[in-house]
Structure formats: C-alpha cells, structure tokens
Amino acid sequence: MFSWLNRFQGLGALVMRLVLGIIMVRYGYTKIIPSGALYMFSHNVGHMHLPVWLGYVAAFTEFFGGMLLIVGLLTRIAAFMTAIDMAVAIIKVHLHGGLMGPSSFAFPLACFAIALMLVFTGCGWLGLDDFVGGRGSRRAKVVSR
C-alpha cells in the first residue's frame, strides 16, 4: 500500500544527513573555535576518567564530521564516528539525567539513532559520495545509459 514511498528513501537520508550535520557542526564549533575552548573541552573529558586526547577526537568528529555529513562525503564513516561520539556522550554525561529532564539523554539518543541509520543507508540524495570514487552510484549509472 505504501510501497510507492520507497522511491523517496534517498530524500529521507538527505534530510537526516543535513539535520545531523548541522547539529554536529553547531556543537563542534563551540568546542573548537572560541579561544581556549578546545583545551577546556579536552580537559573536561579528562575529568571524566577518559584520555584527554579523546576530547580532541570528539570535538573534531563533531565539527569536521558534521561538515562531511552536510556535503555527503564519507557519510558512512562520519556517521559511524558520530554514533560512537553520541554513545560516549550518553554513557559518560547524560545517562544519570534519565530519559526526560534538563540533562536527559533523549537528544543524544536521537542523534545516535540518526547516525546509525546513516551508517546503514548511506548519504541519500545530493551527496558527494555518489560522485566521488571509481564506481559511482546506481543513480549515476542509470542516468548515463
């Protein structure tokens, strides 16, 4: 009955990719760009009994991974790294806040779910993943016939 919607799966992936990318760039920006923010964030990560260098990895994953998601380049890798980032955020920061409330894990969980979905679906429509590389995409092959 709703099988006609299958042709719009690429649009759904595009929307998820853009939304998650914008969110990640926004949160990554506040951890990298202001003077001293990256140092402060990475040392806050160290206070959570994690290596300080993981703070740098998390900040760069959010900022540059978000940019990659927006343009649709290396989407599955960027989404996988974002899913790991969100899983750590849920476990180390937000889990004690419960599902609802001011420090809840509902938002990071939603970002985790979107990232995981992008790992499995790919970039969707208008992503550079379709045009970069030797193989190309199925859509590109159909158009070229």
What pLDDT score was predicted for residue 1?
Answer: 87
Average pLDDT of adjacent 10-residue blocks, the chain of 145 residues: 90 96 97 94 94 96 97 96 97 90 92 97 92 60 40
Q: Which long-range contacts (CB under 8 A, 24 or more apart) does 80-87 make?
A: 80/115, 80/119, 82/20, 82/24, 82/111, 82/115, 83/112, 83/115, 83/116, 83/119, 85/58, 85/61, 86/111, 86/112, 86/115, 87/112
Q: How many CB atoms lie within 10 A of CB 21?
A: 24
Question: CB of 83 within 8 A of CB of 120?
Answer: no
pLDDT for 130: 85
Prediction pTM value: 0.86
